Structure 1
Amino acid sequence: MRTSNPALRANSLTRYRSISGYSETMTIQGAVNKSLLLIFILTLAAVWMWNRFFTEGPQVVMPFVILGAIGGLITAIITIFKNNFATVTAPLYALFEGLVIGGVSSLAEAAYPGIAFQAVVLTIGTLVALLFAYKTGLVRATQKFKSGVIAATGGVCLIYMTSMILGLFHIQIPFLFSGVIGLGFSVVVTAIAALNLVLDFDLIEQSAAAHAPKFMEWYGAFALLVTLVWLYLEILRLLQILRSIGDD
């Protein structure tokens, strides 16, 4: 069992099952409860940022966005390599990413009123639709399916990394993030991000069946939140491109 989400590697979620000292084991319901709690923490931080943006201006919130981005990256790396720290680092990750989501959403909302609400609704809708498809067997996480999503996600990461490196030298990849070509690319990336949810559902379910230790509920919730944050940001960017094309 593999996943393109680096936070949800099969060996990460199951390697503790044979270690003594962990009497309680992971359950799907426990992972769901932790996921809802992390989403709640993220939402509180995002709403706080949103209110500060529209009452005090972007110059006040931007330092918090930078703090959230750096803090989120650090806590994510720690959580991935030290899974048993997830009980502490997962809530911190949610808090940091809430700062990022709130700041980015506020900036987008200022430019395109109503866009943040649309992105939230589409993200929730995508999550519910794919969860339903997974639970009813309409979408199955077969090995071929997993390999395809992994390869596609790796390709997206490579493109983003290349774009970031070129950006340091003030070089932009033409039309990649704007216009009709940018729209098509954004649709593909959003679809890939959404399909990662299926892999996450499958791995959490399989790990619970393998009796992973209790703290892995936090780790599974963290991994799912990583995908949801990515999906939301991709949907937000897709909507921004659509709005910009419509304004031309």
Structure 2
Amino acid sequence: MEFKSSNPFLKEKSFENTSRANDEVITVHQETMTVSGTINKSFTMLFMLLSTALVSWWLVGNGYNPIIFAIGGGVIGFILVLVASFKPTTSPYTAPAYALFEGLFIGGISAVFEAMYPGLVIQAVSATFITFIVCFGLYKYNIVKVTETFKSVVIGATMAIFAFYLISWIAGFFIDFQPIHQGNSLMSIGISVFVIIIAALNLFLDFDMIEKGTQARAPKYMEWFSAMGLMITLVWLYVEFLRLLAKLSSRD
């Protein structure tokens, strides 16, 4: 069975290795990954993320520097993603920790955007939630089917976006310029819309990966691993909505 995802966290090797080990040592149904188990863990991670996001938001409102939470939470969250990606068996520990630290990151940047544009955060949260529900419904009822061509296009577009962001970030250290995806020009807004579409399409591949992992009877800890991968996509989608809405608001 072939596993592919544009989410670099839900990668083919992780599921292939666990599927192979599962065929050898796991025979009891309760010890294998299930869709319901993954959903429950996803909600647990979401609750944890929102809890620390509210804490960091409250601290920023009381005079603490939001950059501390944004950078600190983001860096530690990224490290935890790398650890879980290379060693999925650590997911029952790294996934909850990721949710907690990523919540600090989300709370920090949300407080900054909200201070600049009041009401922006609730709009971004609503847009993210609606996008998730729509994509889930389209996938559940087979309106959108995840084919190999679909996967290839989304993977290619996702890698291109991350390469573009990385190159722009590195170039900023050496060249005094404003990347075209920054600012509030029509081109910048168009790029944000494109990135949001690609992030949303990643949700379809994540849903497909969770379903395939369940069918392959992956080990139970892969529920945490998969929930973490889904959370990564949702965080990305939320941040991109924040950026787009901020650009639109700055043009008013």
With the length of structure 1 as denominator, give the TM-score of the two structures. 0.95
Match of 1:244 in 2: 250
Q: How far has the Cα of 1:174 moved from its partner?
A: 4.3
Q: 1:82 to 1:174 in 2, by over 3 A?
A: closer
Match of 1:52 in 2: 59
Distance 1:146 1:185 in 2: 21
1:219-234 aligned at under 5 Å gives the runs 219-234=225-240
Match of 2:34 in 1: 27
The runs of 5 or more residues in structure 1 that have no matched partner are none
Distance 1:186 1:176 in 2: 7
Q: 1:174 to 1:160 in 2, by over 3 A?
A: closer
Match of 1:153 in 2: 158
Distance 1:174 1:208 in 2: 42
SS of equivalent residue, structure 1 residue 16: helix
Letter in 1 for 2:4: R
Match of 1:207 in 2: 213
CA distances 1:169-222 after superposition (whole Å, capped 9, x unpaired):
243344321211100000000110010000000010011011000000000000
Q: How far has the Cα of 1:4 moved from its partner?
A: 1.1
Structure 2 residue 13 is the aligned partner of structure 1 residue 6? no
Match of 1:65 in 2: 70
Residues 25 and 212, structure 1, Cα contact 8 Å, conserved in 2: yes
Residues 163 and 172, structure 1, Cα contact 8 Å, conserved in 2: no
SS of equivalent residue, structure 1 residue 130: helix
Residues 71 and 105, structure 2, Cα contact 8 Å, conserved in 1: yes
Distance 2:137 2:16 in 1: 25
Letter in 1 for 2:8: P
CA distances 1:71-118 after superposition (whole Å, capped 9, x unpaired):
011100001000000000001111111011000000000000000000
Structure 2 residue 128 is the aligned partner of structure 1 residue 123? yes
Residues 60 and 111, structure 2, Cα contact 8 Å, conserved in 1: yes
Match of 1:38 in 2: 45
1:54-203 aligned at under 5 Å gives the runs 54-57=61-64, 59=65, 61-178=66-183, 179-203=185-209
Q: Percent identity?
A: 42
Q: Which moved more, 1:149-158 or 1:22-31?
A: 22-31
The runs of 5 or more residues in structure 2 that have no matched partner are none
Letter in 2 for 1:142: T
SS of equivalent residue, structure 2 residue 19: coil
Distance 1:150 1:62 in 2: 31
Distance 2:99 2:25 in 1: 28
